[in-house]
Amino acid sequence: QAAKPHVVVLATGGTIAGAGASAANSATYAAAKVPVDKLLAGLPELSSVAKVSGEQVFQIASESFTNEHLLKLGQRVSALAKQEDVDGIVITHGTDTLEETAYFLNLVVRTAKPIVVVGSMRPGTALSADGALNLYDAVSVAASKDAGGKGVLVTMNDEIQSGRDVSKTINIKTEAFKSQWGPLGMVVEGRNYWFRAPAKRHTTGSEFNIDDIQALPAVDIVYGYGNMNTTGIEAYGKAGVKALIHAGTGNGSVAAQAVPALQALRAQGVQVIRSARVPDGFVLRNAEQPDDKYDWVVAHDLRPQKARILAMVALTRTQDSKELQRIFWEY
Ligand SMILES: NC(=O)CC[C@H](N)C(=O)O
């Protein structure tokens, strides 16, 4: 019998490592408590799909992820992916910013080996906990040759999602991770079933490489709403932000009173990136605002938090707004 693929599980915390006081606590519990060895020991079924080893990288709730965490995790994933004795990598992660980390890795880790990010909506101590099955699914995907070259993936709720496209869409319920473009496949009883592949550039097709990135520039987000003011825009400008993501209303629309403040920022050299607070759809260039005239960039279909990730990565290579827009179309 052939040796099973070797999958490394990098643990970072979150609810998948959470523990509550009672089995009835599905929402009230402490995240990032259970160490990776205990998580893996509690799931002996993993040995039927892969040889699994665990590494505790962080033990945090994912809302506290910083750029330093992203870089450290990315560097570790990249190093492991280069090891001949590693076939796939799973990252356990809190669900709140899981989509940001997955997209970051998708952009900067140059490997065709499967990388799967996974979390859970309920702690392992809860009735109908979802972490064990999600982790089993993640390892089965990371161990599968078919999962290679599809970019960084996310397995939650029986589905295999593209790390680029997926977002957390509800803060209770286990069917939390969705993409407007649909999942790539499904996992049933450890078997992977594929139906589509990502169209955007990623991993081996990316022009970015974590091995060349030492630091990420400051990119922040302002939110659009009725009675919008310019306090946040001006404060970020003063703080020396390199790009500002505007999470606009509707099709990335910008309040009339906010336009001059954003133009002033652009005149200072700050990139202005129009995204939308609406969960689905995409922002069209020169619709709602004259992007060509203002030299602004549109975020295409990326949610504001994902636009922030791409802007940071892109700005490590270019300060040119045309190049930045090309990157937003391609990734
Ligand atoms: N379901 C979760 O993982 C949320 C727990 C926590 N807020 C985190 O993101 O890590």
pLDDT tens for each residue of 40-51: 999 999 999 999
Domain boundary among 177, 205, 233: 205
Tell me which of 12, 15, 29 to substitute to probe ligand 1's pocket, judged by most ligand atoms within 8 Å of the beta carbon. 15
C-alpha span between 311 and 325 (Å, rounded): 10
Same-domain pairing of 230 and 100? no
Q: Which domain holds residue 223?
A: 217-330
119 lines ligand 1 (CB under 6 A): yes
Residue 1: what pLDDT? Answer: 67
62 is in an annotated binding site: yes
DSSP code of residue 33: -
In the chain, the number of structural domains is 2
- Kindly report, residue by residue over 249-298, the tens digit of the pLDDT: 999 999 999 999 999 999 999 999 999 999 999 999 999 999 999 999 99
Contacts of 141 (CB under 8 A, 6+ apart): 88, 114, 116, 147, 153, 155, 160, 187, 192
Is the domain of 198 the same as that of 223? no
Question: 294 lies in a domain?
Answer: yes
pLDDT above 70 covers what percent of the chain? 100
- Structure confidence at residue 22 (pLDDT): 96
What ipTM does this complex have?
A: 0.98
**Would you say residue 212 lies in a domain?**
no
Note the pTM of the prediction, 2 decimals: 0.98
Domain-ending residue, one of 162, 183, 205: 205
**Burial (0-12, 13-18, 19+ Cβ within 10 Å), 134:** buried
Pocket perturbation via mutation, ligand 1, pick of 16, 39, 63 by most ligand atoms within 8 A of CB: 63
Same domain, 141 and 270: no
pLDDT band at 227 (very low <50, low <70, confident <90, very high): very high
**Do both 197 and 241 map to the same domain?**
no
**Mean pLDDT for the stretch of residues 166-188:** 98
The answer to whether 275 is a known ligand-binding residue is no
Paired with 152 in beta bridges are: none
Same-domain status, 190 and 118: yes
195 and 234: one domain? Answer: no
24-63 core/surface letters (b: 16 or more CB in 10 A; e: else): ebbeebbbbbbebeebbeebeebeebbebebebbbbbbbe
Q: Is the pLDDT of residue 326 over 90?
A: yes
Question: Which atom, in ligand 1's list, is nearest to the CA of 171?
Answer: 1
Which of 173, 205, 237 lies at the terminal end of a domain, its last residue?
A: 205
The residues annotated with a catalytic role in the active site are 15, 95
Do the domain assignments include residue 287? yes
Same domain, yes or no: 232 and 137 = no
**Residues with Cβ within 8 Å of residue 238, at least 6 apart in sequence:** none
The pLDDT score that the predictor gives to residue 2 is 81
Percent of residues, the chain, with pLDDT higher than 90: 99
Q: What is the CATH number of the domain that holds 12?
A: 3.40.50.1170
Does the residue 210 lie in any domain? no
**Quick one: which of 248, 228, 213 has its CA closest to 108?**
213
Distance from C-alpha of 11 to C-alpha of 203, rounded to nearest angstrom: 21
**Across the chain, what does the average pLDDT equal?**
98
